């Protein structure tokens, strides 16, 4: 009796947005994988899909998993946790069905798969049952500090990466001690983040980057950002280097 080999799940890091920042390895997998899987917001093409599109050959089948909720329910509420848990479990089952039938699956990941990505929920559910390989990507924050021409760490600077979802007091307390910081997941947390930077006395140094390296990129000092809603793909940078530059 011959046993069919199973497929491999590839977590493919796509970099910060510019398709030219996709690695050669990622591009090769995107060209050859029989199934391309990705997460997206309902009714959207999906950021990851848009980044990967120039590298796809059109022959693969697409497995699109649409988030049942994004920001309309607070992520700490039971209703959010239940909906998203069921969604990730169903998505993992759909991926494993392909793997069981011997097809490799490339799961698209913005930035780096091991850095705050939805991929991690698939990794946790699938890795004990099927082979999983991860292709690292340039992180969004790296693309953003390059877009802002803002060297982020000098000498022995300590860089803190803070999710904007933390509460304001926690954000301010971390920001007081950070030499350099990156605040991720800005979106609807923007007002709280601005207050925390102000409370920590760091608002004047902060840089706002929206859609770094993508079409529509915008870089402005945070102090010049008008009061309005900001998109999910935005980040705040607090460059280091204070007192550490060797002239």
Binding residues vs ligand SAM (CB under 6 A): 16-17, 110-112, 115-117, 139-141, 143-144, 184-186, 209, 211-214, 232-235
Q: How far is the CB of 102 from ligand SAM (least distance, A)?
A: 29
Q: How far is the CB of 187 from ligand SAM (least distance, A)?
A: 6
Q: How far is the CB of 143 from ligand SAM (least distance, A)?
A: 5
Q: Which is nearer to ligand SAM, 132 or 184 (CB)?
A: 184
Q: Which is nearer to ligand SAM, 17 or 240 (CB)?
A: 17
> What would the two tokens of residue 89 be?
């479990």
Q: How far is the CB of 103 from ligand SAM (least distance, A)?
A: 25
Q: How far is the CB of 5 from ligand SAM (least distance, A)?
A: 30
Q: Which is nearer to ligand SAM, 35 or 235 (CB)?
A: 235
Q: Which of 34, 68, 64 is nearest to 50 (CA)?
A: 64
Q: Which is nearer to ligand SAM, 137 or 240 (CB)?
A: 137
> What would the two tokens of residue 81 be?
């946790």
**Alpha-carbon distance 32 to 203, whole Å?**
46
State the number of CA atoms in the 13 A half-sphere of 113 facing the CB: 24
Place of tokens 């992520």: 75
Taking CA atoms, 38 is separated from 4, 14, 131, in Å, by 25, 12, 18
Sign of CA dihedral 40, 41, 44, 46: negative
Q: Which is nearer to ligand SAM, 92 or 235 (CB)?
A: 235
Q: How far is the CB of 153 from ligand SAM (least distance, A)?
A: 17
Q: Which is nearer to ligand SAM, 202 or 211 (CB)?
A: 211
User: 3-state class of 219 per DSSP?
Assistant: strand
Q: Which of 95, 117, 121 is nearest to 106 (CA)?
A: 95
Strand partners, 209: 219, 235
């Amino acid at each position: 009796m011959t046993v069919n080999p199973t497929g491999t799940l590839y977590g493919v890091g796509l970099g910060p947005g510019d398709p030219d920042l996709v690695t050669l390895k990622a591009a090769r997998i995107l060209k050859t994988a029989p199934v391309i899987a990705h997460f997206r917001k309902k009714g959207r093409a999906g950021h990851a899909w848009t980044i990967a599109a120039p590298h796809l050959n059109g022959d693969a089948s697409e497995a699109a998993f649409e988030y049942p909720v994004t920001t309309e329910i607070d992520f700490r509420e039971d209703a959010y946790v239940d909906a998203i848990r069921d969604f990730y479990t169903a998505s993992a089952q759909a991926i494993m069905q392909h793997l069981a039938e011997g097809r490799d699956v490339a799961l698209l990941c913005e930035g780096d798969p091991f850095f705050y990505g939805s991929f991690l929920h698939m990794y946790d559910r699938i890795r004990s049952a099927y082979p999983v390989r991860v292709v690292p990507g340039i992180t969004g924050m790296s693309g953003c500090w390059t877009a802002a021409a803002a060297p982020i760490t000098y000498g022995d600077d300590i860089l803190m990466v803070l999710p904007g979802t933390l509460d304001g007091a926690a954000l301010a307390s971390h920001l007081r001690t950070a030499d350099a910081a990156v605040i991720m997941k800005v979106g609807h947390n923007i007002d709280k983040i601005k207050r925390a930077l102000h409370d920590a006395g760091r608002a004047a140094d902060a840089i706002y980057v929206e859609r770094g390296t993508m079409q529509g990129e915008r870089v402005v000092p945070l102090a010049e950002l008008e009061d309005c809603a900001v998109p999910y793909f935005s980040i705040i940078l607090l460059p280091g280097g204070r007192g550490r530059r060797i002239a």
